[in-house]
Chain A
Amino acid sequence: MTSRYHADRAFAVLGLLGLLAALAALAALLLDVIADGAPHLSWQFLTSYPSRFAASAGILPAILGTFYVIVLTALMAVPVGVAAAVYLEEYGAQGRLGRIIEINIANLAGVPSIVYGLLGLGLFVRALSLGRSVVAGAATLALLVLPVVILATREALRAVPKTLREGSYALGATKWQTTQLQVLPAALPGILTGIILALSRAIGETAPLIIVGAVAYVRFVPDSLWSPFTVLPIQIFNWVSRPQAGFAANAAAGILVLLVMLLLMNGAAIFVRDRYQRRRAA
């Protein structure tokens, strides 16, 4: 009789240990990166260009490249993604075509990111002759995060109460007037949160941009949509792949910069969500 309860308690302990082990792994990762990279973080590091010499290599083109690519990605993915979600949610997921589109988007969300890289290579770089450029990279990432934007926006639209729409229609508003003047403003915080999360996913993406041709030894800052570029994760990848010992520290420092960026973005998402929730409650 008592042995059953022992087994029960043992399992609870095991479960907790498992959870803590996973968290310990995360902690180990963070501590390792901080230990390796923090000493190397410096203003000089942030503002220099890559170099053959580990000590003087810097991360400036990567940071700027990341910034440009993400802004472009947002400009492409957000309008299309929000529009698609509005269509599916407000105008007609009932039809057969609507259902097919829905299933299609769900499938796209599960395609490995490297396949998007191949799509970008075949379509943007070669077929549309955009070359290995910032715009090709951003377009590829935009397609990658599109399902995320669409799904998050749909959630936000769904959370808007039906009574709001009814009140608008009853006053003689058209569907678009209702959507534009009532539904979208009400859903805005959720949509913003979704966009920020989609972009933080995009910031960490490496493989698709490698395929599309972001090179890792960029000694200049990208100056136009069509210029070659690099991004932070690729720079990190490049440094990790170098056998010379010094570059590992660079990689770790680069990782810290990347993690800080992600922290800021997720913090912004939480801030947006909280602030609007509080305003709604008042």
Chain B
Amino acid sequence: MSDLIEPLPSSPNGHAGGDVASEELVGHGHFVTHFDEPSLDYGVTETKITETTLEEMRSIAARYPQARSALLPMLHLVQSIEGRVTPAGIEACAEILGLTAADVSGVATFYTMYKRRPVGEYHVGVCTTALCAIMGGDEVYAKLQDHLGIGNDETTADGKITLEHVECNAACDFAPVIMVNWEFFDNTTPEKAIELVDQLRAGVEVQSTRGARVCTWKEAERVLAGFPDERADEGPTAAGPSLLGLRIASEHGWRAPDPEHATDRPDEGDR
């Protein structure tokens, strides 16, 4: 048993996976895991939730055949107002849905997008799941940590950037990938990543490599709660790798069969 918890040398590229920071040895033979993370800080009593917020919460609940289905979007709305999930937000959701605060808290602590500490204006998520990590995500993440001087799930002192390593974000053909407030920044490098966060900190408007101009994290949370902004028409239809097969097909004149001749079944048993 004791040999299993022997501290290991860290890999040269700043291994970013898992809950490395929270898995350091504490005392003898005890790991701190994500199950041990603090729950909400119930010492926080201030709130920006107003009657308008409560009205919006009720309107979300009214979208669903059963109101409890609204809980996830309602928590997104809480974050859009509070900058995280707060005790007051939990209480508001519980009251509107007729749940206990413990029920709501149990849900809020299950999902990684719900944050228990204040999030900066820009949430920068570096994908470090296997493929992105290997293609350079580990190095990007390590360089950003150095450059910003913060660790995982921490925020710069100016409140601008929260850095986190995230799991696969379904953009593997654009690896390595960074998400800023859940917008894609594809085919990144350490240099590009540093330039990006510097621009964000300087207040320069940046645009996703295949999406919209980046809004604030709170504004993004509001869209996820089901209150659209006006940015759906920004950005291209598709970009680069998404179009590769289509481009090759069009160069060769390849297409799906003509429905008129489909019954000929020319390739039956072709395999």
Answer yes or no: do A and B interact.
no
Residues of B at the A interface (CB closer than 8 Å) are: none
Residues of A at the B interface (CB closer than 8 Å) are: none
